[in-house]
Structure 1
Amino acid sequence: MISVLPVPASDLSGLSVGFKALAIRGVSQELVGGLLTLLSIGLLWRSRLAWVLTLLMTAASLVMQLLLHSDPNTALVAYSVLLLISLLLTRQSFHRASLTIGTLFALVGILLTMGYGVLGSYVLGKGFSPAIGNFDAALYFTVVTMSTVGYGDITPHTDDARLFTMSLIVLGLVVFATSLTTIAGPVINRRMMSLLQPRKKHMKRTGHIIVAGQNALARNVVKSLEKRGTQVTAIWATAPQAGIEPPDDLIVGDATNSEVLESAGVSQARAVLALQDSDSDNAFVSLAAKDINPDVRTLLAVNDAHNMDRMRRVKPDAVLALPVIGAELVAMALSGEEIKTDHLLDQLLRLG
């Protein structure tokens, strides 16, 4: 059995003043700041769990500033409001639900919440009955409180201890609920898709073409290729909506995720067409595909002509420059120039 040496409360006296000013009134500002910094890494990866946790922690920080401080920090309040608005406006961009990333952030969230509970209950130990005087008792109280079991053998009897216990319960429920949803969500979604589409048989994917994208361009490309007898595997970010006929071979997932590309058989594919609305996503698809299968040919769609040079740095085999061809057609028509087919094709499909 592992024993923990008791640490006198006097050794943590330097923490008590700042902790009482912040932690016991809701959520520690230091904990919020540290967790938001950690979650920013998840936001860079467009993790859905990181987006949810960041939204919740920012909202908690804002509520604490407005309700629990007589003189709230104006700069922090303004920053929190802007961050909340930005998160809500860009919620569609955070769609990755990788089981590995979700599990990692779930464990981090649980450990940070437990650390908050252990430290808080130890510092405020005299506010409980019986008093919490060692880390063993603090850990026990934290686990029992976060799990909402509440045996009642240790109870808060001061205002500071009660407020701290309330914040620990709320944080524990939020972290556990969010973690469970994020980890179980992808598994349940795949199971539901298999139940809703039982008629589709498993496709043998060899020498096929992968089309990543759910917009009109991507759907029309898939239909045209299928009419010509070409084996196509489509990757859509979301499940098909009512009234939209899905392709014969459809995978629902994030095309920038290597696991999704592998499930689409990219190692045996002869080409990958990245036709999504986001130029950055198209670039990531090409990079991920080349990383798995260096011999696969890639074609990227460019939605913003200003990104043409950036897309060339990804070194695709071809770039579909629809904005450029549109501009050339308009210019030729208005100036009375002869429409040159070879020139237009060169502008439309630029070799990387």
Structure 2
Amino acid sequence: MIGPRRHRVTETPRLRRGGAPGWLALALRVVLMVGLIGIALAGHWIERDGLRDNVDGQISLVDVIYFTMITITTVGYGDIVPVTDGARLFDTFVVTPIRLFVWLIFLGSAYQFLLRGVWERWRMRVIQGKLCRHTIVAGYGTSGEEALRELVRRGADPQTVVVIDPRAAAVAAAEATGAVVMEDDATRNATLSAVRADQARAILVSAGRDDTSILIVLTARRVAPTVPISVVIRSEDNEALARQAGADTVINPASFAGLLLAGSCHGPHIADYLADLANADGRVALTERQVSPDEVGKPLSAITTGLGLRIYRGSTPHGYWDAEAAMLEPGDIIVEVRRGAQGPDDPLRPRPA
């Protein structure tokens, strides 16, 4: 379940990648570097009799610490040198590899926390600047994950889908699909503004809790007044609230499952056909489109792209049996059944005008 998270007012959200926190990776590198230096320091202290100080001839603890750090970070200054075979072999086979590892750790850290960070921020700004006609999925639970999969099955590029979720694990899972991700709270104006919700193609809300989902819808409708918003609501009592909040489409999984169960009582194939309509890989597909100029003036039954079921004229639906469907007008929205990806059924072949 996803609940609203508190954020500082000054916090600015940005697109970012999921994964382990940066401080944890840095801490592990520091521990590894300290361990390697400790091995070199202990070895030099044990072999201190094999070292010679060309300044005062005495090897103290400070001299060992100094010689260890200088040897690991540079090739040395020559003021302290190994003179016995044991000390030289230790420097050759232990200290030299430690020096290489320390430099690799240093360079890797510089890349990850400086160069890579700058690169990622620049790349995310470029992606953010190009966001237009994209789909926003607010909440990456079971419904959000399935919505993303279905969008991809319907031909959407994962890079045109932005997933928002406050949970790091969910963000990482969404990122693995190739989607653009933001680990943040979608109930915030700043979050939806950061993903340019006002220029989105659609906003899909599935936060797992009705109160959070409705709050996201309220925020999204304020940020994006004209963008279609679909929301998953689990309680029938909250469906009216979701519509009042600004949702264009309210989906109740329990109600839909009930429709399929009830339909199965009246025929063994009704539920199968309804699921087929909703699936991009089904034999039939339910689509919605605007009437084309060459269809204006014709009846709904004359369209050749599929089987016309309904038109929307303004906000009013009209079935194919209604008188309004006898003549299509500019601006009408047609809901039709088309052949799916796995082959046509004979009754659904496009009919001639």
TM-score normalized with structure 2 length: 0.40
Structure showing greater Rg? 2
TM, length-normalised to structure 1: 0.41
Q: Using CA pairs under 8 Å that are at least 6 residues apart, name the structure with larger relative contact order, 1 or 2.
A: 2
Whichever structure has more strand as a proportion of its residues is 2
